[in-house]
Amino acid sequence: MLVFGRLLAGLSAGLTTSVVPMYLTELAPLHLKGATGVLCPLGVTIGVLVGQTLSMHDILVLQKLRNVKKEMLQDEIEELKIEEEDNQSAGASWNIGKVMTDRTLLLPLLLVCFLQAGQQLSGINAVFYYSSTIFHKAGLSVAASELATMGAGICNFFMAVLSIPITSNFNRRSCALLSMGTSAFFLIILAIANIPSVNAYSWVRYISIVGVLGFVICYGLGVGPIPYFIGSELFEVGPRPSAMALGSMSNWGANFIIGLTFPTMQSCIGPAASFFIFAAFLVALFIFVKMYLPETRGKDSSEIAEICRNGFASKPLESRIRVPRNDNEAKTIEDKLQA
- pLDDT at site 332: 63
In the predicted model, what is the mean pLDDT of residues 95-103? 86
Residue type present at position 9: A
pLDDT band at 320 (very low <50, low <70, confident <90, very high): very low
pLDDT band at 188 (very low <50, low <70, confident <90, very high): very high
- pLDDT at site 96: 85
- pLDDT at site 117: 94
The percent of residues above 90 in pLDDT, for the chain, comes to: 19
pLDDT band at 72 (very low <50, low <70, confident <90, very high): low
The percent of residues above 70 in pLDDT, for the chain, comes to: 81
Question: What is the overall mean pLDDT for the chain?
Answer: 80
- The 10s digit of each residue's pLDDT in 48-64 is 888 888 777 665 574 44
d(CA 122, CA 285): 9
| DSSP one-letter string for 38-99 | THHHHHHHHHHHHHHHHTSTTT---------PPP--HHHHHHHHHTPPPTTSTTTT--HHHH
Q: Inform me whether the pLDDT recorded for 74 exceeds 70.
A: no
- pLDDT at site 184: 95
- For residue 12, count other CB atoms closer than 10 A to its CB: 10
- pLDDT at site 120: 92
d(CA 150, CA 147): 5
- pLDDT at site 285: 95
Q: Inform me whether the pLDDT recorded for 308 exceeds 60.
A: yes
